[in-house]
Amino acid sequence: MLEKLPEYEKQLQEIDNKLSNPDTMSDMNLYKKLMVDRAHVAPIVEEMQNLNNLKQQIKDAEEMLKEEDDPEMLAMAKEELSELKEAALESSKQCKMLLIPPDPLAGKNIIMEIRAGTGGDEAALFSADLFKMYSHYAEKVGWKIDIMSSNETGLGGYKEIVFSISGKDVYGSLRWESGVHRVQRVPETESGGRVHTSAVTVAVLPEAEETDIEIKQEDLKIDVMRAGGPGGQCVNTTDSAVRLTHLPTGLVVICQDEKSQLKNKNKALRVLRSRLYDLEEEKKQKERSEARKSQVGSGDRSERIRTYNFPQNRLTDHRLNLTLYKLEIILSGELDEVVEALKIAAGEQAMQDA
């Protein structure tokens, strides 16, 4: 591994030379790419240099052991050597993690879609619970949420809610939330106290920029209509709702939450662009490996990934065999333990696949 250090040092120097060139600042796309490259290469160089120094210190300590006769000094040298070897082992693991090619999508914002599945009103109510969970988590880590569209039920649930989350490392943190979320609890409407099982599907789409996906005007069918729903200002009074149909794929997006037709159209375009981008990424992944499925799940939206058991205050992530008995706390937005466990598992899998 350390034989690659001169190669990475040279690569970092070349990046820094380009960044110091005044011409680079006039090309913002090039500047951004160089900064992304530097953010990947610089930590590798730093950690490899650290590992190289530790290995040299280990060599020096081993030489000292051969020459030392004093029992007290020998004991100190052995203890120092043990600490150096432990530090080198940790540094070597860190180097391997840093050498994993960065996910180009990790830094992207996301569009999240939560839809009630089996379970009727109970599934719709749990859709609202999941939206609150992600909202609280986003607020805690300093991300911004913007509702794109929603279809509410009279009981305060959502048949469907689509929203964007923007901030640092959003996709890298929440990409593994895609899949089927199962809930087991006694519904408020259940008089017999029986536990019901319902399901909600979550889709996490990396939000595409206009430069990522081009949508041709001739490929779009645009319909405007009066917004529907449980009521509220401007509902059923103006033609503000927008339905976009992407003719080549048949994808349909409806946005009606804004009072302005233009704002609804722009939001619908953002959702459509991200869905098309997600289709392209899914196709690329299948081409790379038709059969490979990582230990944290395939990302298939039909895969049951998690169970929320209210009577036992238990959350189980089936991909990691992770069980936590603090469901109430997690639903309040304390998702860190789950998110970090999924990140670590994904990193370990990437190291095996590399």
Q: Quick one: pLDDT at residue 176?
A: 92
Q: Quick one: pLDDT at residue 233?
A: 45
162/174 Cα distance (integer angstroms):
15
Q: Which CATH number fits domain 217-285: 2.60.120.560, 3.30.70.1560, 3.30.160.20, 1.10.3720.10?
A: 3.30.160.20
pLDDT in tens, 97-116: 787 777 778 788 999 999 99
Q: Quick one: pLDDT at residue 118?
A: 86
| Cα diameter, the chain | 94
179-185 and 158-166: which strand pairing? unpaired
% of the chain beyond a pLDDT of 70:
89
Nearest by Cα to 319 from 172, 118, 113, 176: 176
Q: Which amino acid is at 263?
A: K
Q: Quick one: pLDDT at residue 189?
A: 66
Q: Quick one: pLDDT at residue 303?
A: 77
Nearest by Cα to 277 from 210, 347, 191, 201: 210
Count of residues making up the chain: 354
Higher pLDDT, 211 or 38: 38
pLDDT in tens, 69-81: 778 888 888 888 8
Strand partners, 276: none
Q: What is the mean pLDDT of residues 186-208?
A: 85
117/85 Cα distance (integer angstroms):
53
275/72 Cα distance (integer angstroms):
68
Q: Quick one: pLDDT at residue 343?
A: 83
75/127 Cα distance (integer angstroms):
62
Q: What are phi and psi of 331, to 5 degrees?
A: -65, -15
Q: Which amino acid is at 222?
A: I
Reduced 3-state DSSP string for the chain: CHHHHHHHHHHHHHHHHHHCCHHHHCCHHHHHHHHHHHHHHHHHHHHHHHHHHHHHHHHHHHHHHHHCCCHHHHHHHHHHHHHHHHHHHHHHHHHHHHHCCCCCCCCCCEEEEEEECCCCHHHHHHHHHHHHHHHHHHHHHCCEEEEEEEEECCCCCEEEEEEEEECCCHHHHHHHHCEEEEEEECCCCCCCCCCEEEEEEEEEEECCCCCCCCCCHHHEEEEEECCCCCCCCCCCCCCCEEEEEECCCCEEEEECCCCCHHHHHHHHHHHHHHHHHHHHHHHHHHHHCCCCCECCECCCCCCEEEEEECCCCEEEECCCCEEECCHHHHHCCCCHHHHHHHHHHHHHHHHHHC
pLDDT in tens, 294-303: 445 444 456 7
Q: Quick one: pLDDT at residue 305?
A: 93
In this structure, of 106-120, 191-205, 230-244, the range with the lowest mean pLDDT score is 230-244
Q: What are phi and psi of 141, to 5 degrees?
A: -95, 0
180/345 Cα distance (integer angstroms):
19
Q: What is the mean pLDDT of residues 15-36?
A: 88
How would residue 291 be classed by pLDDT, with cut points 50, 70 and 90?
Answer: very low
Q: Which CATH number fits domain 110-211+299-353: 3.30.9.10, 3.30.70.1660, 3.40.640.10, 3.40.50.300?
A: 3.30.70.1660
Q: Quick one: pLDDT at residue 18?
A: 92
How would residue 83 be classed by pLDDT, with cut points 50, 70 and 90?
Answer: very high
pLDDT in tens, 208-232: 877 678 888 898 999 888 776 554 4
220-225 and 241-246: which strand pairing? antiparallel
Q: Quick one: pLDDT at residue 287?
A: 58
- Which conformational region is residue 232 in: left (phi greater than 0), alpha (psi within -120 to 50 degrees), or beta? left
Considering the chain, what is the average pLDDT of its residues?
85
pLDDT in tens, 134-183: 999 999 999 999 998 889 988 889 999 999 999 988 998 999 999 999 99
